Amino acid sequence: DAMVIQNPRYQVTQFGKPVTLSCSQTLNHNVMYWYQQKSSQAPKLLFHYYDKDFNNEADTPDNFQSRRPNTSFCFLDIRSPGLGDAAMYLCATSARGGTDTQYFGPGTRLTVL
């Protein structure tokens, strides 16, 4: 009964080569989130969508973009990955907003060579 699905689970890219990570959900939740988690650190929110409204955190680099073509899917695009972008990328959803439980996918571990 997978609820939040992320593909691929592991992604290797080259320095500067664009990469796209995907997330899908079967919960029909309005809100979808992307978090970045570097080694031995806590997850950090990059941005979120409330329905089709995109909300970027103030310190999210311009190198990171996102798309949400429909309720079920959300994509994270890294336009020119640097070595510092190597991390675990976690997708999460919640039903309505900040006061609701967030459910996380298994994550995509990105390696930049």
Partner 1 sequence: GIQVEQSPPDLILQEGANSTLRCNFSDSVNNLQWFHQNPWGQLINLFYIPSGTKQNGRLSATTVATERYSLLYISSSQTTDSGVYFCAVGDSGAGSYQLTFGKGTKLSVIP
List contacts with partner 1 (CB under 8 A).
Answer: 31, 33, 37, 41-45, 48, 50, 55, 57, 88, 90, 92, 94, 97-107, 109
Closest distance to partner 1 from the beta carbon of 72 (Å)? 19
Quote the least distance from Cβ 17 to partner 1, whole Å: 23
Residue 47 in contact with residue 57, Cβ under 8 Å? yes
> CB-wise, 19 or 89, nearer to partner 1?
89
- Nearer to partner 1 by Cβ, of 12 and 16: the residue is 12
- Which residue, 63 or 106, is less far from partner 1 as judged by CB? 106
Rounded CA separation 92/78 (Å): 18
The CB-of-78 to partner 1 minimum distance in angstroms stands at 18
Give the separation between CA 82 and CA 65, rounded to whole angstroms: 15
Burial (CB count within 10 angstroms: exposed 0-12, middle 13-18, buried 19+), residue 108? buried
- Between residues 42 and 83, which has the closer beta carbon with respect to partner 1? 42
Residues 108 and 23: beta-carbon distance below 8 Å:
no
